[in-house]
Amino acid sequence: MAVMSDAELLAIVLGHGTSGHSAHRLAVSLLEQAPGLHGLIRMSRDELCRLPGIGAAQAARVLAGIEVGRRTLTRRPASRPQFLTARETAEHLLPRYGAHHVERFGVLLLDTKQRLLRDHIISQGSLDTSLAHPREVFRAAVGSGAACVIVFHNHPSGDPFPSPDDYSLTQRLAKVGTLIGVPLVDHLILADGGTGRFESMG
């Protein structure tokens, strides 16, 4: 998009032209009459509708495109949560995933400052089991450009303590994360009774 001309971008916003005039030709004409993008920004809906080839729907598309651009400049991006402690992670996860009636395994994909890129559920199981494979965890991490990950799963039984299988999976994930350079920061177990974690991970 960065190498497209103003007319080409405006033609995409317009969507289609009129009989005998393509969207690109209409966009060129509109920019000539405005004149230019700065003139277009100052025009009202009624002023746009008075231009040849511009109806109410076309004017609405143009104004919507202008408003989207304006908002990207005037609004700060929403701050992303940062997870430096198990408590911060638990406060984020428990309301979302702690009380689910079947076991679900997910991952928090984090940037270099351990700020959230996104949550991702890897698998959902039965009342007491879910399947998770390191391949799926780190496929999501690499695909999102994550610098590190925190994994989590819930125990529908309400018992937050890790099982032998939980320990085994955590060790496998930690090894794979070290190998590919996307470290496993923590593994939390979510339950109605609180959270459990793996002391060896800090």
Q: What is the pLDDT of residues 26-66, one digit of tens each?
A: 888 888 887 877 777 778 888 888 877 787 888 888 888 88
Give pLDDT tens digits for 166-176: 899 999 999 99
Q: What does the alpha-carbon distance between residue 50 and residue 148 come to, in Å, rounded to a whole number?
A: 55
Residues 91 and 187 in one domain: yes
Inside any domain, residue 79: no
**Helix (DSSP H) and strand (DSSP E) numbers for the chain:** 8, 5
| Contact of 117 with 144, CB cutoff 8 Å | yes
| 80 domain-assigned | no
Instruction: Identify which has the larger pLDDT, 13 or 175.
Output: 175
Looking at the domain assignment, is residue 171 inside a domain? Answer: yes
Rounded to the nearest 5°, which phi and psi values hold at 163? -90, 170
Same domain, 151 and 190: yes
- Could you give the percent of the chain with pLDDT greater than 70? 86
Overall domain count for the chain:
2
Contact 61, 14 (CB under 8 A): yes
Cα–Cα distances in angstroms (integers) from residue 37 to residues 21, 43, 53, in the given order: 20, 10, 18
The predicted structure's pLDDT at residue 194: 65
* Residue 135 belongs to domain spanning: 86-201
Domain match, 58 and 155 both: no
Query: Domain boundary residue among 74, 101, 129?
Result: 74
**Comparison of pLDDT for 1 and 120, the residue scoring more:** 120
The CATH number of the domain where 62 resides is what? 1.10.150.20
* Residue 139: inside a domain: yes
CA distance 17 to 60: 14
pLDDT tens digits for range 85-120: 999 999 999 888 887 788 899 999 999 999 999 999
CA distance 59 to 46: 8
Question: 119 with 113: CB under 8 angstroms?
Answer: no
Mean pLDDT lowest for which of 34-43, 126-135, 178-187?
Answer: 126-135
Q: Which of 74, 101, 121 is the last residue of a domain?
A: 74
List the beta bridge partners of residue 109: 118, 149
pLDDT score of 200? 43
Strand partners of residue 62: none
Comparing 197 with 191, the larger pLDDT belongs to 191
Indicate the residue type of 59. Answer: A
